[in-house]
Structure 1
Amino acid sequence: MSLSKIDMLLHHPRAVMFAGLAAVGLPWLIHNYRQFRALGQTRLSGPFGYLIALTLTAFSRETVSTAEYDKAATQERWLETPVERRGTRPLMGWPCVPQRQTNRLPSNEIAKRLDAIFEKHAVANPTLVETIVSPHEKNIPAMVIHPDIPSPHKEAIQGLREIGHIHPIDHSMHVILSPADSKTAIDLGWAERHPLGGVSRFSVPNSYLMVYAPRDEEELDVVERILVASIGYMTGSRSVA
């Protein structure tokens, strides 16, 4: 490099710094953005949605601790204790929104069975729930508390009265469980908390959980029981069909 070029660089250190950051950071951003897009179409899309996801992720927290649920005012349960889920937890995409798993996905047959189970319980409980566009996701169906039922607790209000929804891309599911059931589902490996759950700046309650996609008949049965427990807790009913 010539002395004149070195002199120019010494007189423009900020330009050198920004050029270096761009050289290192641009490939990372492109790769990171592609990972974000691979998580599927959500209410956050495109470069602007990506920037929102980056920002929100800065406020996120860990997702599998459960000591906080022991301090809840109520310890009522709707979920019969299931068996422990086999294997390690699936991997998650990097952003906190959308929260999606990236491996250990179900077969098409199991995915269709889960969709049918969700629809079955929506139809079988017409006085407890109704199906509308998800207040959280904005672009997929969700089960919500029937408008004739008052919100039974603050979690229902914070959760926009949404009981749960299935993510089409991976067939994981978001639901709200009671504090005691949240502890059980997380401790036994069936779910994890939303990364913004319980973060004071946001409205998502700490019992807003992501239930991992079922891989076989046994797991499908447990996930169905978790869904029924969510319907019961969110509607205050002990008679969920």
Structure 2
Amino acid sequence: MNSSLSKIETLIHRHPRTVGLGIVAAVGVPWIIDNYLKFLALGKSGLSRIGPLGWLVALTLTAFGRETVSTAEYERGTKERWLETPVERRGARPLTGWHCVPHRQVDRLPADEIAKRLDAIFEKHVAANPTLIQTTLSPHEKTVPGVIIHPDIPSPHNDAKLGLREVAHIHPIDHSMHVILSPADSKIVVDLGWAERHPLSGVSRLLPLPNTYLLVYAPRDEEELDVVESILVASIGYMTGSRSVA
């Protein structure tokens, strides 16, 4: 035993850098592999398309993320509302991924039928409001369709400009959705457990995410589907400045 310890001490003394790198590799490589696989498990995104480089960007951005459920900052914004106060969401909030980009829900996922119904709701409101919104490639996600303000409508406020004029989009992997709401509506849906802020929302002027950029959790049943639809309609109204969303 003493002989083995002596050999280890000699090795450390003679090759300290090699030993140090070996320890770092033994600890770090499994973590790196696990973290990269967790990143890929969040589904297709603009960053996942570029593989390991996208993961490094996500890792860097995550370091700047902040908590996602405080709402005091919304009290300083406009008091205008487009959303009728919903009931409180049942149960705990879903978990979201370790990485803040892409921002995804990882549990409490909807059944296929509810997911299809949510897709149909998006299509219904786009078709019913052709002068307010249209569908194009999401300016934020760059891999999924997004609902944007119609080109004929000027951006009605700074949130629309910061948010690249995108109203909402659905994430196919989990059927959560990102939307932008008014500050007053944002406070309501976060406080009642229906949504959380994006970790990078409002962090920096260099990132096009206003602090009202929210992840709305995927609906699990008919009642929750109705609430999520009302949130989508409120987002369309706020982002277009309209009080007559169909």
The percent of aligned pairs where both chains have the same amino acid is 71
Gaps of 5+ in 1: none
In structure 1, the residue corresponding to 2:211 is in which secondary structure? coil
- Specify the code of the residue in structure 2 equivalent to 1:22: A
Deviation per CA, 1:76-130: give whole Å up to 9, x if none: 0000000000000001110000010111000000000000000000010000001
What stretches of structure 1 move > 4 A for 4+ residues in a row? 2-5
In structure 1, the residue corresponding to 2:135 is in which secondary structure? strand
Distance in 2, Cα, partners of 1:174 & 1:157 = 16
> Deviation of residue 206 (structure 1)?
0.4
Distance in 2, Cα, partners of 1:39 & 1:33 = 10
TM-score normalised to structure 2 length: 0.95
- Specify the code of the residue in structure 1 equivalent to 2:127: V
> Deviation of residue 214 (structure 1)?
0.1
- Specify the code of the residue in structure 1 equivalent to 2:39: F
Query: Structure 1 residues 234 and 2 mapped into 2: Cα distance closer, same or farther (>3 Å)?
Result: closer
Q: Does 1:163 align with 2:134?
A: no
Gaps of 5+ in 2: none
- Specify the code of the residue in structure 1 equivalent to 2:10: D
- Aligned twin of 2:141: 137
- Aligned twin of 2:22: 19
Find 1:95's aligned residue among 85, 92, 99.
99
- Aligned twin of 1:121: 125
- Aligned twin of 1:210: 215
TM-score normalised to structure 1 length: 0.97
> Deviation of residue 4 (structure 1)?
6.3
Distance in 2, Cα, partners of 1:139 & 1:11 = 52
Distance in 2, Cα, partners of 1:43 & 1:212 = 21
Query: Structure 1 residues 5 and 89 mapped into 2: Cα distance closer, same or farther (>3 Å)?
Result: closer
For this pair of structures, how many residues does the alignment match?
240
Find 2:233's aligned residue among 221, 228, 231.
228
Q: Does 1:9 align with 2:12?
A: yes
